[in-house]
Structure 1
């Protein structure tokens, strides 16, 4: 049970995932601040809103459509950035690999192969 977990950690996927989460959190903060600093005032200008951006009231219910528009634009910017920075380059790289234009990753070194054989032999002796 623990050997599978140990193998998972040693593959490096955990480190890649951690880096992705940290960068994703920082990027989300950046895009959210862009929405607060630039999009909300822009919506206020367009809608003629004062301090409260883009709201209207029906009876006692306040509808804040300005915040919704800001959140929608922030979502679209985040999705577009992720697509053009991560997804599109990876799709292009995979396409090049399928065509044979991009070489596959190098095979493991002789030392890694030898250490793997030693490990396997030690496991077989148990």
Structure 2
């Protein structure tokens, strides 16, 4: 069970799962919501125009129709989908990972700091320098080349 938990908590597995869920399950729901509730409200701003917020660049040519209402509806659908993904998937998983790290006694991840391997290499460099009797270089300085 522990191995399964580690597999599920990997970042790439979670990203893939979120993508599949968003692509499959929410497309129809959000599309229906926007088409049936949001689009009619947006079309109200078109006044007495039966096409809502759309117009034709060339009146007799249907292919020149520009539908501003459909564009606004698509933007709203995207924002709703992004909010659902964040609050239903990303935020709970982020909190669960932080709780798991805290429970296991691991330090919290510092996204602004250096990667763990860089920190370890810096510590090794400083220890080797101290063993040679030299001074420890300042943070970010490189060791002088050995001849």
Q: TM-score, normalised by structure 1?
A: 0.57
The structure that has the greater radius of gyration is 2
- Residues 1:32 and 2:31 aligned together: yes
Q: TM-score, normalised by structure 2?
A: 0.50
Distance 1:98 1:84, change over 3 A: same
**Aligned positions, number:** 90
Task: State the SS of the aligned residue for 1:47.
Answer: coil
Can you give the 5+ residue segments of structure 1 that lack an aligned partner in the other structure? 1-10, 103-126
Distance 1:91 1:55, change over 3 A: same
Can you give the 5+ residue segments of structure 2 that lack an aligned partner in the other structure? 1-6, 9-13, 106-147
Contact 1:43 1:54 in 2 (8 A): yes
Distance 1:101 1:42, change over 3 A: farther
2:57 corresponds to which residue?
A: 58
2:42 corresponds to which residue?
A: 43
